[in-house]
Structure 1
Amino acid sequence: MKKIAFYAPMKPPTHPVPSGDRAMARALLKALDYGGVTAEVVSTLQTRDKAGDEEVQARLFEQADAEINRLIDQGRRADWQVWVTYHSYYKAPDLVGPTVSAALNLPYVQIEATRARKRLKGPWAHFAQAAEAASDAAQVIFHLTERDAEALHAYGPSHQQIKHLRPFLPRVELPPASSGFGPMLSVGMLRHGDKFASYQLIADALKLLETPEWHLVIAGNGPALDAVASMMQEFGDRVDLRGSLDESDMQKLYSEASLLFWPGVNEAFGMTYLEAQAAALPVVAQRRPGVCDVLAPGVYPEPERGPEALARDLDALLGDSGARIARGQAARKYVADHHLMPAASRVLCQTIAELAP
């Protein structure tokens, strides 16, 4: 059985706070295990600097140096065959993996690494340079979206392999399907910034609905809870904020909903789209990079068309149960064909077998 060292500098899979990043890291571990690869999470050092603070970055470089020494010592006693890093980018670069891999003579692999050349100057310059160096050191980089692939191909060394790993659900089979009747559902962390922008679009679209009766359930929690609750207050009991839910409760929500409504402002891709479509929910979202990599083929409005286009899509689905159910079933088949764990496991484990025969 192959054994790899696994590291997620953005957020370790053991982190107590749920997020899409943590969910994807956990999904990767399951996919590796499914394919007969044992993955050891070798570090929980988080290198994220969300504000571009040079002092924070300097401190994290120091912590990384100490972690490197520890891991080289540990690695000499371990039987790791490959090092895999998930999600290294200019705000959370892998400051550890390339050096440890080189010292232990391990193949170095990245998953969802991104290149941001415009960040090589400015407040994240040192971190961006470290992220570029880590990407340069990788023998293989798996990209999850076509947007990431463009920069990887443009700036990567000629010998580097760039491979497509579709975002996937850590499931072998599909969950129970929704009947297509029930409330609309929105799923996303309640925080300021991009997520809040999606909630603002949701509120603006709800005001424009012509459907006389509708109900929306929002699943999520975070520091913007009060602000989102205030935003939705004018809709009264037609909007139900459920807070943070565990996996089984979330699956119940998906199975009881009629559609997923999530605009997707600056989403990397959005695991909630896969979860909803797997449960046969049609999706109302904007056509955005990353998001399009996980949405079933269809017509989605461009962001510049604003909440008016989202409201029209909602009215069309709410007013036609036949079209709603058909679109949901097509989305479910799309996930079954392209975004479940067995396919992802084959892609990952085949590459690892080639690197460590």
Structure 2
Amino acid sequence: MQLAFYAPLKDPGHPVPSGERTMARSLIAALEWGGATVTLASTLRSRDGVGDRHVQRLVLDQAQTEISRLVPQGRLEGWQAWVTYHNYYKAPDLIGPQVAQRLGIPYLLIETSRARSRLTGPWSQFAEAAERASDAANIIFYLTQHDAEAIERDRPAAQHLIHLPPFLAHKTLPAPSSGDGPMLAAGMLRHGDKFESYKIIAETLATLPPHGWSLNIAGDGPARPEVEALMSAFGPAVTFLGQLDRASMARAYRDASLFFWPGVNEAFGLVYLEAQASGLPVVAQNRPGVCDVLARAAPSAPHQGVAPLAAQITELLTDTRLRTRRSAEARRHIAAHHLLPTAARTLQAGLAACGVLP
């Protein structure tokens, strides 16, 4: 089975770590686990973060050049389907639909969004392209129920929708956490939504008793001085671990007692999967996407403030039996729904539905 793979927002070889890059790599691993030979068709990054029509025009021209290159390559290599990960109005798939059409092969989308409100305004060209890509897909794999709502509403009649829960590229669970040690937070130290999560963390910590807890923060980025300023009131109780490689991050999970990340505007958050796989109870806000990957309902909605978060933390830190029970629940949840074999079977079902597999 020969498949072409493309990630217009961030290709799997991009030098900057992120959940987007990790998910792209995990999808390739799952497709290969299912028996496919996967070709990374293009590394063209289509993202326009500011709504610049000139930038969009340049990227559209580059996409046409890629299409001209890829159609003969696809014929030569015998591609049987094109798979694109993450199509949306700021980073649409400008390549896959045309290549798939010219090759006469199925076009599959994994994670796409509908944003018809963007069909006017600075992203209109890209929004139109993202809508065309969504319309062209034979199969759309959606990752969260929040995404499914608009996709279901606007899908063509012949299009199939399949739920692909976010997953880790592991066949088995990692070693469990000790259940003791500091709390852990993990997220890029950058402005915007990540910084808003760090603000909530600081506000929550300020309501906890002054002793009996500590927090490690894994991650780095341009907003580090501002995040450090937020946490300065807590002195040595908060430790910045910096950006960690995979092995060091695994140790951070194993050495923690719980995982605390509010999840402001997270699509779903791979860190929640990693934390739960290691058996960490999660404290997060009740937000779309985040709730799709948690073993149990998040303790508070954003409008309820930090008090429910602080109460959940206090309960988990003071009740060892509860922490142990929640740890086991988290690992069972990940094993049942969010590991590579389950994802590979779901992807295979989609490929079979469009005739790529018997």
Give TM-score scaled by structure 1 length: 0.98
Contact 1:180–1:325 under 8 Å retained in 2: yes
Q: Specify the alignment match of 1:309 in structure 2.
A: 308
Q: Specify the alignment match of 2:216 in structure 1.
A: 217
Between 1:229-238 and 1:201-210, the stretch displaced more is 229-238
1:32 CA drift (Å): 0.9
Alignment of 1:58-69 (within 5 A): 58-69=57-68
1:267 matched to 2:266: yes
SS at 1:268's partner residue?
coil
Q: What is the CA–CA distance in structure 2 between the aligned matches of 1:41 and 1:282, rounded to whole Å?
A: 36
Contact 1:260–1:276 under 8 Å retained in 2: yes
Q: What is the CA–CA distance in structure 2 between the aligned matches of 1:167 and 1:211, rounded to whole Å?
A: 37
Q: What is the CA–CA distance in structure 2 between the aligned matches of 1:166 and 1:252, rounded to whole Å?
A: 25
Give the aligned residue type for 1:191: R
Between 1:240-249 and 1:205-214, the stretch displaced more is 205-214
Q: Specify the alignment match of 1:181 in structure 2.
A: 180
Q: What is the CA–CA distance in structure 1 between the aligned matches of 2:259 and 2:118, rounded to whole Å?
A: 34
Contact 1:211–1:318 under 8 Å retained in 2: no
Contact 1:211–1:319 under 8 Å retained in 2: no
Q: Specify the alignment match of 1:356 in structure 2.
A: 356
1:207 CA drift (Å): 0.4
SS at 2:343's partner residue?
helix
Q: What is the CA–CA distance in structure 2 between the aligned matches of 1:242 and 1:116, rounded to whole Å?
A: 38
Alignment of 1:1-357 (within 5 A): 2-210=1-209, 212-354=211-353, 355-357=355-357
Q: What is the CA–CA distance in structure 1 between the aligned matches of 2:39 and 2:67, rounded to whole Å?
A: 16
Q: What is the CA–CA distance in structure 1 between the aligned matches of 2:230 and 2:222, rounded to whole Å?
A: 14
Give the aligned residue type for 1:117: R
Spell out structure 1 runs of 4+ moving beyond 2 A: none
Between 1:300-309 and 1:85-94, the stretch displaced more is 300-309
- Cα deviation 1:154-187 (Å, max 9, x = unaligned): 0010000011001111111100001210100001
RMSD: 1.0
Contact 2:2–2:77 under 8 Å retained in 1: no
SS at 1:234's partner residue?
helix
- Cα deviation 1:324-352 (Å, max 9, x = unaligned): 12111111111111111111100102322
Give the aligned residue type for 1:77: L
- Cα deviation 1:281-328 (Å, max 9, x = unaligned): 000000100001100123520110112221111111111111112111
Give aligned pairs, total.
356
Contact 2:143–2:166 under 8 Å retained in 1: yes
1:3 CA drift (Å): 1.1
- Cα deviation 1:199-252 (Å, max 9, x = unaligned): 000011010112622110000111111211121112111111111111111001
Q: What is the CA–CA distance in structure 2 between the aligned matches of 1:38 and 1:18, rounded to whole Å?
A: 24
Q: What is the CA–CA distance in structure 2 between the aligned matches of 1:319 and 1:118, rounded to whole Å?
A: 47
Gaps of 5+ in 1: none
Gaps of 5+ in 2: none
Give TM-score scaled by structure 2 length: 0.97
Q: What is the CA–CA distance in structure 2 between the aligned matches of 1:59 and 1:221, rounded to whole Å?
A: 32
Contact 1:37–1:349 under 8 Å retained in 2: no
